[in-house]
Every structure is written in structure tokens, then in C-alpha cells.
Chains A and B, each alone.
Chain A
Amino acid sequence: MSRLDIHKTYKLYIGGKFPRTESGRYYAVKNKQGSLIANMCLASRKDFRNAVVIARKAQTSWGNASALNKGQILYRIAEMLESRKEQFIAELITQGEEAAKAKNEVDLAIDRLVYYAGWSDKYQQIFSAVNPVASSHFNFSNLEPVGVVAIVAPEEQSLLGLISMIAPAIVGGNSIIVLASESKPLTAISFAEVLNSSDVPAGVVNILTGKRAELTSQMASHMDVNTIVYCGKDAAVIKNINELASNNLKRTIFYKKNDWTSEESQSPYFIEKMQEVKTTWHPTEI
């Protein structure tokens, strides 16, 4: 007897749950040949707004979690991803990637998670400092997470690019809302399943799928978002983000490159960019 294949319903990932978009809208994702591979949720600005509220709530305890704990959780994500490698390779191929490149991308993605897991208890030491000052103060600077980060993930290399954005943001204690690749969003939602089974507290990572054109402005203008990261080259969009971000002086970070496989695609500076430096002046005896 023949049986019907069971296809996965791709939904959003908000607050550790997989809700459909509140708007009820969908968009079709097609492969290079033009045939339908999935219907994705077309997230609305209200989905984004709800995600920000949830991310804000989750950030406090995540930001206070120990470096060891955060590192362990990142490593756990890598473990979970490793065990589901084949699925991700297959999904990348469905989205139009060549087999060899797909395998390489998943391998690199796992390694990248391990790389940032390792940095969890080290980046503070590199970027913190005791500063020489002329007065009788013990003066030191250390890093604190900026808070809530909104990320427009890379359009290409939909898994590796996404993880290259998520890992440095959360290892630094931020909570995030990511808009996945618009044309290749399947792996992002499958990755949400990995996150959901990796002890990442609910609300720390929230993943939306939808149109960049609809959501980027909202992400840039929301007063409760502390940093926006935009992966793309569109000069008009970048200008718009800079203008809207000025409303609450949120930090803007732009990545214009397409290739996230290189050595330069990972460094502690990716973490540092989403950190705030706090300097303390502590009185001492003369």
C-alpha cells in the first residue's frame, strides 16, 4: 500500500513556541525550477512587536547567566545540529544548494557554534581593561550585553549566515529577533527546532520568516530594540535604517559580504560589536 508523505508545516519561532503568524498570511517559497517547496509564514509587524516584548523579558536572566552556562548551551546547540546533519544538508539542497557545498555549509555551521561556545568565558578578558588614570581611582572597563538585538540575516548561505549572526549575539548575553533569509527560510525554522531542544531559554532567540521590505523599517524604528544588524548591500535600505535607528540611538551594524565560509567570518569582534562598555571609577587611597 502506498502512503502519503507527511510534510512539515513551517511556522514562526517566538518565545520558545512555534506559533503561526497572527496575520494569517503566507508566502510561497520556490526552488530554481520554479516549483513550490514550502509555504512560509509571512510575519507581520505585530509578530515582530510581540517577539520584542518576549525577548525583552527573556534578556534579563539570560544576560545574568554564567559564562560557563552560556557556553555549555551553545555547545549543546552544536551537538543537536550534528545529530541532525543529514536533514539540514537535504534541506539546503532542496533550497537549491549543490550537495558538496551544502555539506560544507552544515559542517562550518556546527564548527562556528563550537567556536563561539569556546569564546563564552574568554571575550570579557580580551575586551575588558584596567585603565591608567591620573586621579586616585581604580578605573576599569568591562562589557555588558546591549540588550535586545534585531537581525536581518544574510539572504544567501541561509544556515551558516544565520548561525554566524545568532551565535555571537547570544553568547554575549543578548536576546534576539532574527528575520530569516526571505528566499531560503526552511533551514532557519528547522534550526529553531534545534534551539528548542538545546536548553536555550524561551524568548532568547526568536525567528521570523517574511519579507525584508515589510519588516526592516519596523526593526529599525522600534524604541525597545537596542541594536539592529542588517546583512545586505542595498544603500537605500541602509540609509533608511540609519535614519530610523536614530530615534532611540540604537546601534547599527551592517554586513555587506555574501560569503560566510571564510576564516574572517568568525572572530570575537562579532561578539564585541553587540556589547556596551561600562567603565567604573572606584576611589582608592592615594
Chain B
Amino acid sequence: MFPNLNNLPVYDTTGVNERVKRFCSRSIKKSSKVEGLKLAMSMIDLTTLEGKDTKGKVEQLCYKAMHPHDVLKDIPKVAAVCVYPSYVGVAKKALKGSNIQVASVATAFPSGQSNLEVKLNDTKFAVDQGADEIDMVISRGAFLAGDYQFVFDEIASIKEACGKAHLKVILETGELDTLDNVRKASEIAMYAGADFIKTSTGKIQPAATMQVTYVMLDAIKDFYLKTGKMIGMKPAGGISNSKLALQYLVMLNEVLGEKWMNKNYFRFGASSLLNDVLMQLVKAETGLYQSPNYFSKD
């Protein structure tokens, strides 16, 4: 069902900035910080999306996902490993028996500039290789040109091609210019069948910001109140330190509440965040500020 885009709330940038600033002023220390860090860690989609990726690099990343830090006790594994379709098979094999999901980008990632047939094949290939989750990109060109129906239909077709795999829809907010556009794109994605909405590919600056994430969380809230369906959220790109991750969790809790505070409904798309969280956890345990030298590369 195509959503009504005429009565959407309008976002005032200054107001959103002020609201976001408040999420960043919470004091989270000691044991609550440790719990928060562990929660953030369990929500990470450990990601490598580079032209220079190899089988070895992906296997190393998968090993890191399963063994983030063998000395620290009681730490969770990450939620998923996110790769290009050509490495889904490699990741699937490497993660066998670990409960860690394999996510794959698809649909002519990151630009999305191709025809539907190519995009559907891209998606089917990733699913056939065993991907549990598909991260698709929307056609920003069509969206900005006002062809919302096209964007909607495309998402719906990809959703169908996904079968059992979860669908995350990347809005690439860095290219949408305004918060109102972000809201509009969120609506289209959710009504078209997205299981998750995701901010960015990580290839465009600015990537995830708290402002756009706030608008998307707000859209998820309204969608839930209207339909009763819970949609997940995944900010991706640029979230590289623990403090920022905790601030996102504060925002999640205060906008959507506790029901969303788990990896089924919230993910961080990140690569360097994991090591920073680990460094903070070791700091909490030993009292010593840590060096990246003592942590495995991701």
C-alpha cells in the first residue's frame, strides 16, 4: 500500500538539533556504561565493503566477529557480518554454527544505478549464496525527481526477491538533502515492506548523523502506532567510537523505548566501532587507557 505523503510531519533543523543535543548529555558511567557497551557490541554489523576485499580479508573479519577478544569474559558476539554478494558464500562458511548472520549489500550498491532486472539478480544471487539479510539501496535519483511510486515499486520487488531474508533499505541520507526528504523516504521504504531502514552506504559523506537517525526513529514510531508493526533501524557509517554509540542508544531508548533495544530491531553498521568498544571494556576492567596495538585488526 503506497503511503500518503501529504500529511507527514515537517522537521525543523534547529529543533531536531536541540533534541539531539539532549540525548548527548546523559551521564552513563561505570556498570551502566559497561552494560551499554556490551549491548552496542551485540548490535554491530561488522562490515567490509571495499573493492580490495579478498577471501582472506572476509575470513579474517568473520574470525574477528566470532572471537572479538578472547581474554574478556562475558562479552557478546556481533550481530552480523556485512559483505558484498561475492563473499556471502565465504562468510557463510566461516561463520557456520556461530549464530552470526550474514548480511549482503545488493541492488547495484552503492549507487543503485542499474535496471530492475540487474538489481533483482544481484539480490537473488546474494540470497542463493546464503545471505540472511539484504541491504538494498534506493534509487535516489528517482526519489529526488519526485518519482516516489518507482522507488516504492522497486523496494517491493526486491522484498519479494528476498524471500526469507530480512530486507534493510538504505536511504543514503547524505544525498537526500533535507530531513523532510528523509522522512518521506522512510515512509516509502516501510510501507513497501522494509524490515529495517538504514541511513547510509558509508560511501557518501555525511554518512549517519544523529539528526537523520532521529527523524527515521520518529518515522518508525509513527508507523508502529499506525500499523502495530515494529521496523528496525540501522545507522551506518561514521559511528566509530563508543561514546557516540552510547548516545545513539540513549536516543533509541527515549524515542522508541525498550522493545527496540536489541539486535533484532537496532544495528550499527560499522567496522572500527568494535575495537573502540573493546578498548573501553578493557579500560573498565583494568583501569588503564588502551592502545590499538593490543587488539586484533578488523
- Nearest chain A CB to B184's CB is how many angstroms away? 38
Q: Which residues of A contact B291 (CB under 8 A)?
A: 222-224, 248
CA distance A175 to B184 in the complex (A): 48
Which residues of chain A come closer than 8 Å to B289, judged between CB atoms?
Answer: 49, 52, 218, 221-224
Task: Output the residue of B287, B289, B290, B292 with the most chain A CB within 10 A.
Answer: B289
* Residues of chain A contacted by B292 (CB below 8 angstroms): 224
Tell whether A247 is near chain B: CB-to-CB under 8 Å.
yes
Give residues of chain B (282-297) contacting chain A, Cβ–Cβ below 8 Å.
287-294
Q: In the assembly, what is the distance between CA of A223 and CA of B293, in Å?
A: 9
| Contact partners of A224 in chain B: CB under 8 A | 289-293
Residues facing B in A30-85 (CB within 8 A) are 49, 52
In the complex, what residues of B have CB within 8 A of residue A221's CB?
Answer: 287-289
Compute how far the CA of A247 lies from the CA of B291 in the bound complex, rounded to whole angstroms: 12
**Which of A49, A223, A247 neighbours the largest number of chain B CB atoms within 10 Å of its CB?**
A223
Q: Nearest-CB distance from A53 to chain B (Å)? A: 9
Please count how many residues in chain A sit with their CB below 8 Å of the partner chain's CB atoms.
Answer: 9
Q: What separation, in Å, do the CA atoms of A221 and B290 have in the docked complex?
A: 9
Interface of A is mostly: helix
What residues of B have a CB within 8 angstroms of the CB of A49 in the complex? 289
Partner of B294, one of A52, A218, A222, A223: A223
> How many chain B residues touch A (Cβ–Cβ < 8 Å)?
8
The residue on A at minimum CB distance from B288 is A221
What 0/1 readout, one digit per residue, does chain B (31-48) give for beta carbons within 8 Å of chain A?
A: 000000000000000000
Q: List, in ascending order, chain A residues with CB within 8 A of B287's CB.
A: 221
Q: Which of A205-224 contact B (CB under 8 A)?
A: 218, 221-224
CB under 8 Å from chain A, chain B span 187-208: none
Task: Give Cα A268 to B8, complex, Å.
Answer: 70
Q: Report the minimum CB–CB distance from A153 to chain B (whole Å).
A: 21
Interface residues of A in 194-234 (CB under 8 A from B): 218, 221-224
What is the 8 Å Cβ interface bit string for chain B, positions 256-295, against chain A (1 contact, 0 not)? 0000000000000000000000000000000111111110
**Nearest CB in chain A: distance from B275 CB, A:** 13
Instruction: Give bound CA distance, A223 to B291, whole Å.
Output: 5
The residues of B that contact A52 with a CB separation of less than 8 Å are: 289
- Report the minimal beta-carbon distance from A114 to chain B, rounded to whole angstroms: 35
Report the separation of the CA atoms of residues A247 and B292 in the bound assembly, to the nearest whole angstrom: 15
CA distance A52 to B289 in the complex (A): 10
Residue of B nearest to A223 (CB): B291
Smallest CB separation, A15 vs chain B (Å): 16
- Measured in the bound complex, the distance between the Cα atoms of B292 and A51 in whole Å is 15
- Nearest Cβ distance between residue B182 and chain A, in whole angstroms? 31
- Closest beta carbon of chain B to A42's beta carbon, Å: 19
Closest beta carbon of chain B to A206's beta carbon, Å = 15
Among A52, A224, A247, which residue has the most Cβ atoms of chain B within 10 A?
A: A224
B102 to chain A, nearest CB (A): 33
Residues of B at the A interface (CB closer than 8 Å) are 287-294
Q: Which residues of A pack against B, CB within 8 Å?
A: 49, 52, 218, 221-224, 247-248
> Which 8 pairs, one residue from A and one from B, show the smallest C-beta to C-beta distance?
A224-B291, A223-B291, A222-B289, A221-B288, A223-B290, A49-B289, A223-B288, A247-B288
Instruction: Enumerate 5 A-B pairs (CB-CB under 8 Å) in ascending A order.
Output: A221-B287, A221-B288, A223-B293, A224-B291, A224-B293
Other CB < 8 Å A-B pairs besides A223-B288, A223-B293, A224-B292, 14 of them? Answer: A49-B289, A52-B289, A218-B289, A221-B287, A221-B289, A222-B288, A222-B289, A222-B291, A223-B289, A223-B294, A224-B290, A224-B291, A248-B291, A248-B294
